[in-house]
A and B are shown apart, each in its own frame.
Chain A
């Protein structure tokens, strides 16, 4: 029982993953009041049984990510409510794992800085307790992953 035990993961980025197969929806030029119009759009998407990720309010509407295989369904439901929208296919999510990143002050900013510097076309970034998911054009996903792997705070963890 008295052997030495290793513990916490090294601070910084421990793993980077790519998830493909998404489409980005941008709904714009919604009528005022915006909050009502956004609900109208969300209701239409919910009734079409669409699961949304990365929902963001934009100055005149909203944007979100859906499974690429559901893009036709999304287009149909948005046409039905008659709003101005665009659907961009070939989007990927690059997920940057960094355990307990909130207590490493400035780490999130350093990851974002590195991602911007990579030149990848970034659509969206968000954060949870242990990861920073970055939505990018699928063509840029591998390049972004490689750039982030060269990040000085990347310490690959095999577990």
Chain B
């Protein structure tokens, strides 16, 4: 049973969560608990709050990843100890475990470690003694050459507590893994956008992973992946309601053609580099440089679009200033068939001071070619996710027709086996989600 930040945020929430654990025990199960840090962003022990303590010392100095991990892990340690003590006060002895005490070994990447193995012997011993183990989510230990016998604490990155929950469930061959949150389960759309969006009673691991990938992070895909590999039923339930929740199962247990939901990602910026000015022989080299640079700065890409005359992609808005900083005014000299050619990059239709300065310096050189990236700020990705549905004739037509009838401008499209996505102006997100939800009959989905 994994309890997210909101389920352990207050003494009342912890009491409600604890009663769910006790109820499972009274039904004859041997519950094992995984907890997130107390509260979400803004709460004193939430991950972001702890990180702010370091940044507040001197924002210009980046904290060491090793020290950052040690600090961040404190949030879950506090949470596990308090949760275990809450259970004890209710008459059910419990033991808190840090990640390494629970036997979680990682690959040693600070801030984004992956679980490589779990040896659950301490947890089994604790259960055999009648305790309820309460494990810190989001952390594990790396034991490698040159390190002390205690190993190194590493955190698991995004979705770390969900991942801990699924992995512990797999290691213990659990009957099920239940992820408790403050919503009733996986919804057909964000309830902030579609007020009465139904809760899906059953979805496949693939569907939930795609839904998470495209914006609705109810369960992290890493947790779904582990549950899928070990065939462990995964549930998403609401700590604060008696709704039965959503069961996540393999494809074989839930076949059929259906639309699962409509999702939307966060804020994106779309860039389309125009290569029409570029010598054919140099296009691939320049394109290669662009993607090398994006990889170097670890930029996340969405909506990739490569064509003979351009290359385009969307980046998260928070990464856009870095992209702009790197590319706007960048000069790449290359030797082409006609000798040396200087390529000057410009982001957006208006030349910035950097581009104008570079252009004036390059004026004496004859062979200068500008590569302009058309810029569309304020975009978002709205996606229709489905199961054995997207390959049907007319799905694209239905999506685009619905949006056009509502006068929503579609900038670009993208699709996969399980989804059809459209890039639209961010201001239209609410309307797009609502009309697609209605058009594909999701109001009555179960």
Contact = CB atoms under 8 A, between A and B. Distances in A.
A, B assembled together: yes
A56 B400 contact: no
Interface string B193-222: 000000000000000011011100000011
Interface residues of B, number: 70
A126 B287 CA distance: 16
Given A1-B172, A35-B409, A42-B400, A106 B298 contact: yes
B164 to A, nearest CB: 10
Given A35-B404, A116-B288, A51 B115 contact: no
Contact of A128 (B222, B225, B307, B419): B419
Interface string A122-133: 111111111111
B413 A128 contact: no
Given A126-B304, A128-B416, A100 B225 contact: yes
B240 interface: no
B414 A8 contact: no
Contact of B396 (A2, A55, A105): A55
A6 B116 contact: yes
B212 A108 contact: no
Interface string B18-61: 00000000000000000000000000000000000000000000
Contacts of A8: 114-116, 163, 167, 222, 225-226
Interface stretch (B244-252, B329-337, B387-395): B387-395
Contacts of B297: 106
* Most central of B213, B305, B415 by chain A CB within 10 Å: B415
A-side interface size class: 35 or more
A5 interface: yes
Contacts of B394: 46
Q: Is the interface of B mostly helix, strand, loop or mixed?
A: mixed
Contacts of B221: 99-100, 129-130
B344 interface: no
B124 A2 contact: yes
B106 to A, nearest CB: 9
Contacts, number: 175
B418 interface: yes
A18 to B, nearest CB: 16
B70 interface: no
Contacts of B109: 11
A73 to B, nearest CB: 11
Given A5-B117, A39-B401, A127 B222 contact: no
A158 B415 CA distance: 27
Contact of B304 (A48, A52, A103, A108): A108
Contact of B209 (A6, A107, A123, A130): A130
Contacts of A102: 213, 300
A123 B163 CA distance: 36
Contact of A133 (B107, B292, B416): B416
A69 to B, nearest CB: 14
Contact of B301 (A48, A51, A55, A109): A109
B356 interface: no
Interface in A20-65: 35-36, 38-39, 42-43, 45-46, 48-58, 63
Interface in B347-387: none
A113 B306 CA distance: 12
Contacts of A35: 400, 404, 409-410
A119 B288 CA distance: 11
Contacts of B300: 102, 105-106, 108
* Most central of A8, A11, A63 by chain B CB within 10 Å: A8
Closest 8 CB pairs of A and B: A129-B213, A46-B394, A105-B298, A106-B298, A109-B294, A113-B291, A109-B295, A128-B416
Interface of B: 103, 107, 109, 112, 114-121, 124, 157-159, 163, 167, 170-173, 209-210, 212-214, 221-222, 225-226, 229, 284, 287-288, 291-292, 294-302, 304-307, 391-394, 396-397, 400-401, 404, 409-419
Given A7-B114, A46-B397, A58-B307, 13 more contacts: A1-B124, A4-B103, A6-B116, A7-B115, A8-B115, A39-B397, A39-B404, A63-B307, A100-B221, A103-B222, A109-B294, A112-B306, A129-B221
